[in-house]
């Protein structure tokens, strides 16, 4: 079986090299044309050395579907018909497909059907890898695009922009002016402080400060291995108006890439060292990209840092070189290493002091440390007022003052940013249960606090 597959690839390679195609210049080797946005990938072109892989994908597509037009096959692979037309001709000469019908517009409207010989060959290919989606982007092209993106992306951050990004939070000017320079620099940061002060929310809000868009490949091809990169869970595509490929005179965007918002990937205590390397699946023959590669060009939030399955030292040891050099090294199933760009803003959110997690050498590489402070009394009331407004409740300063003076202070409870939201939520649940009016009272808040706080010493124990 292996011999037959090798023979097939050799025959295709010889045939494909005779095709007259033009290789594109990569983004790093040419100036960005005027009018292009930084997110745009290079235009799609056929490369002779890439034709065998594309021919295999065509065979799998025809094997898994009924008759397809040439235009539809191109759409499924993310390629223009002019790219796959010579491949279809090669397949016809090898008797792997045939024309089952067609329209009046020539090759793009012809309906192609796989033959018995082509189906047998497709089954052999599927035993090697199950992938039959969009044509993968060569690693060199992805590197070139990310380098071009790094040079052209907008990094301008202003105090007004930071305030807009965190407008749903109540933060001091000190914290706001720490966030802005950290994001503008593109360097990783610690967001630390007592539990309940919004570290995770601050880390997520940082994504709102990243302007622009980015193009993410469906998959990469590295030394003959396919790495699946686009993930609909972690990537947010931007809808673009479809073009009529047969009649439009405008050059199409390379459909092997997905136009997305800049990534915002978040992981927590489930993070393991294996998540930072390629995950090979023997069943499908594919590799899934690690989290930092999926977050390239965006934000990677490590929530509850210090509580992962691996130690903080092991985790940072894995990233000590990428954080400095902006280049990450990954390893294929064969053991071969390759490098990829490391354009990730990593945010470590933790309620453990950074100096207790890592040593001075690691703290130097994570250059920004932002303390999510506990709110002051006026800040606590401001948060309380905002939560009341969000819940269509009338804010009463006297009720909040009574809560702080008669419940918090006697029990030594420290104010946290999350408490107004949590206490008001419990109070409204109790009011609905008892049939009370939709308003806050002293008794209702004290009842809510009684089921929220464990005992008088719980808060101070959590800080030890």
pLDDT in tens, 354-387: 888 888 878 888 889 999 989 999 999 999 999 9
323 neighbors 366 (Cβ within 8 angstroms): yes
CATH of residue 78's domain is 1.10.10.10
Q: Is 418 inside any structural domain?
A: yes
How distant is the alpha carbon of residue 123 from its chain centre?
A: 33
**Percent of the chain, pLDDT > 70?**
84
Q: Is 200 inside any structural domain?
A: yes
Question: In which domain, by residue range, is 409 found?
Answer: 377-463
Please tell me whether residues 98 and 41 are part of one structural domain: yes
Place of tokens 């990537």: 235
Overall average pLDDT of the 138-160 stretch: 90
Chosen domain end from 104, 134, 164: 134
- Enter the pTM of the model: 0.77
Half-sphere exposure of 240 (CA within 13 A, CB side): 17
Q: Is 60 inside any structural domain?
A: yes
The domain total for the chain is 3
Overall average pLDDT of the 154-171 stretch: 87
Overall average pLDDT of the 211-226 stretch: 91
pLDDT at 269: 86
Please tell me whether residues 154 and 290 are part of one structural domain: yes
Q: How far apart are the first and last CA of the chain?
A: 64
Place of tokens 């420290």: 414
CB atoms within 10 A of CB 47: 15
Q: Is 338 inside any structural domain?
A: yes
**Higher pLDDT pick, 123 / 37:** 123
Condensed to tens digits (0 to 9), the pLDDT of residues 60-112 reads 888 888 788 888 888 888 888 888 888 888 888 888 888 888 776 777 888 88
Please tell me whether residues 18 and 55 are part of one structural domain: yes
CA nearest 80: which of 52, 44, 114? 44
CATH of residue 166's domain is 3.40.50.300
Task: Report the alpha-carbon distance of residue 356 to residue 315 in Å, rounded.
Answer: 15
Please tell me whether residues 129 and 6 are part of one structural domain: yes
Task: Report the alpha-carbon distance of residue 96 to residue 118 in Å, rounded.
Answer: 4
Please tell me whether residues 168 and 52 are part of one structural domain: no
Please tell me whether residues 166 and 243 are part of one structural domain: yes
Q: Is 403 inside any structural domain?
A: yes
pLDDT at 25: 39
pLDDT at 3 over 70: no
Q: Is 139 inside any structural domain?
A: no
Condensed to tens digits (0 to 9), the pLDDT of residues 13-29 reads 333 333 333 333 333 33
- List own/partner pairs for 149-156 with CB under 8 A and 24 or more apart: 149/38, 149/39, 149/214, 149/297, 149/343, 150/341, 150/343, 152/32, 152/38, 153/38, 153/212, 153/297, 154/38, 154/211, 154/212, 155/184, 155/186, 156/184, 156/211
Please tell me whether residues 211 and 293 are part of one structural domain: yes
Show the CA angle centred on residue 326, arms to residues 321 and 327, nearest 5°.
75
Task: Report the alpha-carbon distance of residue 418 to residue 440 in Å, rounded.
Answer: 18
Question: Phi, psi at residue 97, to the nearest 5°?
Answer: -150, 170
Q: Is 91 inside any structural domain?
A: yes
323 neighbors 365 (Cβ within 8 angstroms): yes
CA distances to 40, 224, 234 from 257, rounded to whole Å, are: 9, 19, 15
Please tell me whether residues 116 and 151 are part of one structural domain: no
Q: Is 228 inside any structural domain?
A: yes
């Amino acid at each position: 079986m292996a011999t037959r597959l090798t023979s097939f690839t050799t025959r295709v390679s010889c045939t494909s090299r005779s095709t007259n195609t033009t290789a594109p210049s990569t983004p790093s080797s040419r100036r960005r044309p005027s009018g292009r946005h930084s997110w745009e990938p290079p235009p799609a072109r056929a490369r002779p050395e890439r034709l065998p892989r594309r021919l295999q994908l065509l065979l799998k597509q025809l094997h898994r579907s009924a008759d397809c037009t040439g235009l539809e096959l191109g759409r499924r692979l993310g390629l223009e018909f002019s790219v796959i037309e010579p491949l279809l001709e090669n397949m016809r000469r090898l008797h792997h497909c045939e024309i089952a019908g067609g329209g009046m517009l020539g090759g793009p409207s012809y309906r192609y059907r796989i033959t018995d010989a082509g189906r047998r060959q497709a089954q052999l290919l599927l035993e090697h890898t199950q992938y039959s989606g969009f044509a993968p982007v060569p690693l060199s092209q992805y590197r070139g695009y990310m380098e071009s993106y790094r040079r052209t992306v907008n990094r301008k951050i202003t105090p007004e922009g930071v305030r807009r990004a965190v407008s749903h939070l109540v933060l001091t000017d000190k914290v706001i002016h720490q966030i802005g320079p950290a994001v503008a620099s593109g360097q990783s940061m610690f967001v630390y402080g007592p539990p309940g002060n919004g570290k995770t929310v601050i880390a997520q809000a940082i994504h709102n400060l990243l302007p622009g868009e980015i193009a993410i490949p469906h998959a990469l091809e590295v030394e003959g291995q396919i790495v699946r990169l686009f993930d609909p869970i972690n990537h947010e595509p931007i809808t673009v108006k479809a073009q009529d490929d047969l009649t439009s005179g405008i050059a199409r965007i390379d459909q092997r890439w997905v136009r997305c918002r800049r990534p915002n990937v978040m992981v927590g205590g489930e993070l393991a060292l294996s998540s930072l390397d390629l995950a090979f699946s023997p069943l499908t023959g594919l590799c899934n990209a690690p989290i930092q590669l999926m977050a390239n060009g965006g934000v990677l939030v490590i929530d509850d840092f210090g509580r992962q399955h691996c130690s903080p030292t092991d985790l940072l040891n894995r990233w000590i070189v990428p954080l400095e050099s902006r280049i990450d090294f990954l390893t294929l199933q064969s053991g071969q290493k390759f490098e990829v760009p490391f354009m990730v803003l990593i945010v470590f959110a933790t309620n453990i002091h950074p100096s207790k997690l890592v040593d001075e050498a690691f703290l130097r590489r994570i250059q920004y440390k932002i303390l999510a402070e506990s709110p002051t009394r006026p800040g606590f009331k401001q948060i309380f007022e905002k939560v009341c407004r969000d819940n269509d409740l009338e804010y009463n300063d006297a009720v909040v003052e009574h809560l702080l003076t008669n419940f918090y202070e006697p029990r030594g409870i420290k104010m946290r940013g999350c408490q107004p939201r949590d206490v008001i939520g419990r109070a409204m649940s109790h009011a609905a249960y008892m049939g009370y009016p939709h308003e806050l009272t002293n008794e209702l808040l004290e009842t809510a606090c009684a089921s929220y706080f464990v005992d008088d010493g719980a808060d101070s124990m959590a800080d030890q």
